[in-house]
Amino acid sequence: MPKDSFFKRIEIPIFAHYYKMKIMIQIHDKQFVPFISAQEIEFAIAKIAALVEADFADETPIFIGVLNGSFMVVSDFMKHYKSPSEVSFIKMASYEGTTSTNDVKQLIGLDQDLTGRTVVIIEDIVDTGNTLMALKELFKKQNVKHFKIATLFFKPEAYKQEVKIDYVGIRIPNKFIVGFGLDYDGLGRNLPEIYQLKD
Ligand code: IMP
Ligand code: MG
């Protein structure tokens, strides 16, 4: 195959993904612009799944998605993770509008004995790390074998904790985003790609 026809074949689908994104979207009172394509998201999730699988393929880890935001990440993550595994969810909330509060509430708890299990928390995004610290506290009492944290997005400039994040998909600047499970006051979760708050 001539070199340039190969490039045409791979470039067209990549650009097509950006064309599918709207130039600007309005949610409630705010405007958002395209930031990360569906394809980049898929690539990042596949990368995390491969790294977790390399570490735990000979165990049966239990993946714990943090609701509401992580439902899309968990779904795609599970499709890429090919070895034996289980999944469960926990519901936490700390955000009001576009800012994190220090008060992290547990809204739906764990219903399962995790003694001796390898637990991998799956987050959509780690921002201040308050949710993560609340989760760590919660799992301290559970006598798990391994406690690991995986997140699709990470805002290093906003992160206030010492705890290391084991698996990070994409590092992003400290700016509010929506899409792929992430919301602005309830809306925007259904967007297949990520939009960023317009300046
Ligand atoms: P943290 O406790 O500050 O680390 O924030 C964790 C939670 O806040 C995430 O799981 C999200 O649900 C929400 N969050 C943080 N940053 C954003 C954002 O940029 N857009 C939408 N939700 C966010
Ligand atoms: Mg979340």
Ligand 1 nearest atom to the CA of residue 159, by list position = 4
Q: Which residue owns the Cα nearest ligand 1 atom 10?
A: 125
Calpha distance 40→192 (Å, rounded): 11
Does residue 70's CB lie within 6 angstroms of at least one atom of ligand 1? no
Does residue 129's CB lie within 6 angstroms of at least one atom of ligand 1? yes
Bridge partner residues of 174 (DSSP): none
Q: How far is the CA of 9 from the centre of ligand 2 (A)?
A: 36
Q: 187: which residues sit within 8 A by CB, 6+ positions away?
A: 27, 28, 178
Q: Is the pLDDT of residue 2 over 60?
A: no
Q: Is the pLDDT of residue 9 over 50?
A: no
Question: Which residue among the candidates 111, 127, 185, 199 is catalytic per the annotation?
Answer: 127
Q: Is 124 a catalytic residue?
A: no
**3-state secondary structure (DSSP) of residue 114:** coil
| Cβ count within 10 A of residue 169 | 26
pLDDT of residue 20: 67
- Rounded to a whole number of angstroms, the distance between the first and last alpha carbons of the chain is 45
Does residue 85's CB lie within 6 angstroms of at least one atom of ligand 1? no
DSSP code at position 23: S
- Ligand 1 site-directed mutation target among 32, 95, 172, most atoms within 8 Å of CB: 95
Does residue 125's CB lie within 6 angstroms of at least one atom of ligand 1? yes
- Ligand 1 site-directed mutation target among 135, 182, 191, most atoms within 8 Å of CB: 182
Summarize the confidence of residues 186-191 as an average pLDDT.
96
Q: Which residue owns the Cα nearest ligand 1 atom 19?
A: 176
The strand pair at 86-96 and 62-67 is best described as parallel
- The whole-angstrom distance between residue 129's C-alpha and the CA centroid of its chain comes to 13
- The whole-angstrom distance between residue 185's C-alpha and the CA centroid of its chain comes to 18
pLDDT by residue (tens digit) across 32-44?
999 999 999 999 9
pLDDT by residue (tens digit) across 155-188?
999 999 999 999 999 999 999 999 999 999 999 9
